[in-house]
Amino acid sequence: MTESHPPVRGLLNVTSLKRAIADDQIETVLAVIPDLYGRLLGKRITGDFFLHDVLDGSLHACNYLLACDMEMDPVPGYQYASWASGYGDFRMIPDLHTLRVADWLDKTALVFCDVYAEEKDELVAIAPRSILRQQVARAADQGYQVKCASELELYVFRDSYERARQKHYVDLTTAGNYIEDYHIFQGTKEEDIIGAIRRHVDRSGVPVEFSKGEWGPGQQEINLRYAEALEMADRHVLYKHAAKEIAWQRQAAVTFMAKWDERFAGSSFHLHASLWDRDGREPLFAGAETLESIRCSSLFRWFLGGWMAHAREIFAFYAPYPTSYKRYVASSFAPTGLAWSYDNRTAGFRIVGQGPSLRIECRAPGADANPYLAFAVTLAAGLDGIANQIEPPPMFSGDVYAAAELSQVPHSLPEAIAALEQSTWARQVLSAAVVDHYLHFFRTEQRKFDEVVTSWERSRYFEQA
């Protein structure tokens, strides 16, 4: 009699993957990379082929994947890849620490890959996972580990993705009809989708803490358990990817647009960060010093100071699209002024917790941000604050929205692009090649937007202009 094993769940190692394939519990392995947008791209591989030909080697994919737009249109002007260079290959090398069950798919596992040059044994520097790896390594060289967490908001629709496309994304039916912030009854109506997302991603090695109704009709938030920065970025994109596929399986849709409708609240990615020792065992933000009324360490003070000092330079990585900036509206719980405060949701930098749980919550990123890039620039800014002992401004008390004297978040993508372009610091810590690559990416998104006549323009000007 063949010995049976319990269903596989969560993270896998090579031994458990081999057993699951032999037991016919896993047939397919998804080998994926995050692209410039934070989407998962890659290949579906038969289990046996993965074990025999990929496990200790690599896959090949076209390098245009890191030089095209959302519609897979090769974009001229990138130095990394172009028609002139022939759009060659890069190598995808599995990071076996990320091997896990994709519980929402039938007999499927998933592994994240790092992007390596085709002919050299080195990471492709402009790949999102490579950029974050570089900053994680810089922190480790200084004896630090940065742990991060994502609070991600999304809207749920009863329209399928196909139906939404047929309706030209107008007059969509949200899963709720009224503001449902913390609303258990309305949350129950959406549990067929949100509950499935929670369960499936939790069984896929992405620990979920909770979900809750948010401020918009049909808007929900799911909080993921904090982790080391690279692991957290992997969890973040896996959750977004799974949420879309789980909604699609149920003839529904979700969106992570930072602002999908001007009438309703935007969707955020509240980014929590804290500094730990090299082994990730001892939190380093707690301390005996006092900053305003907060008991903290010098490291906390300087990390906050550096993060705030560079906020405008790195803002495009928090809000990468023209539409992203429509979220920053006064009295909307999205930040407009660059200030910090303790447990104050009008501040862009909200300090939460105390003692070992002391951390910084940045409320600037939208749910549309690429977490690898957002975490990377956060680490870079915080480490610069520590290196140069940058002091934060005085703590703000009161309503940040009413404080016109404060430095403001960029009001548009061109404004954020200009701040990044003028930053010599960003070129030093990220490299000129990385900054130039993403400046071209952001400019392309703005150019694509500027070239289109919108339905708002037609309805306003068609008759009366």
Q: For residue range 333-377, list pLDDT tens digits in order.
A: 899 999 999 999 999 999 999 999 999 999 999 999 999 999 999
4 pLDDT band, cuts 50/70/90, is low
Q: Is the pLDDT score of 1 beyond 50? A: no
What tokens does 271 get? 């980014």
pLDDT in tens, 165-222: 999 999 999 999 999 999 999 999 999 999 999 999 999 999 999 999 999 999 999 9
* Beta-bridge mates of residue 46: 28
The H-or-E segment that residue 31 falls in is strand 28-34
Q: Where are the beta strands (DSSP E) in 354-464?
A: 359-362
Higher-scoring residue by pLDDT: 276, 5: 276
Rounded distance between C-alpha atoms, residue 242 and residue 263, angstroms: 27
Query: By CB neighbour count within 10 A (0-12 exposed, 13-18 middle, 19+ buried), where does 322 fall?
Result: middle
* Residue-level pLDDT at 461: 94
* Residue-level pLDDT at 293: 87
What tokens does 235 get? 């969890």
* Residue-level pLDDT at 48: 94
Rounded distance between C-alpha atoms, residue 83 and residue 68, angstroms: 12
- Amino acid (one-letter) located at 8: V
277 pLDDT band, cuts 50/70/90, is very high
Mean pLDDT check: name the lowest of 91-105, 178-192, 413-427. Answer: 178-192
- Amino acid (one-letter) located at 348: G
* Beta-bridge mates of residue 156: 254
- The fraction of the chain above a pLDDT of 70, given in percent, is 99
Q: Is the pLDDT score of 7 beyond 90? A: no
Average pLDDT of the segment spanning 230-243 = 98
Average pLDDT of the segment spanning 134-156 = 97
* Beta-bridge mates of residue 227: 148
Domains 14-124 and 136-451 fall in the same CATH topology = no
Rounded distance between C-alpha atoms, residue 8 and residue 17, angstroms: 9
Query: By CB neighbour count within 10 A (0-12 exposed, 13-18 middle, 19+ buried), where does 57 fall?
Result: exposed
> The domain 136-451: what is its CATH number?
3.30.590.10
Average pLDDT of the segment spanning 145-152 = 96
| HSE, side-chain direction, 13 A CA sphere, residue 244 | 12
- Amino acid (one-letter) located at 215: W
Q: Is the pLDDT score of 331 beyond 90? A: no
**Phi, psi for residue 100 in degrees, rounded to 5:** -155, 165
What's the whole-number average pLDDT of the chain?
Answer: 95
Given CATH 3.10.20.70, say whether it is the number of domain 14-124: yes
Q: What angle do CA 243, 249, 251 make, to 5 degrees?
A: 105
Q: Is the pLDDT score of 58 beyond 90? A: no
pLDDT in tens, 368-399: 999 999 999 999 999 999 999 999 999 999 99
* Residue-level pLDDT at 3: 58
Q: DSSP label at 7?
A: P
Q: Is the pLDDT score of 156 beyond 90? A: yes
Domain residue spans in the chain? 14-124, 136-451
What tokens does 413 get? 């993508």
What tokens does 362 get? 């940045």
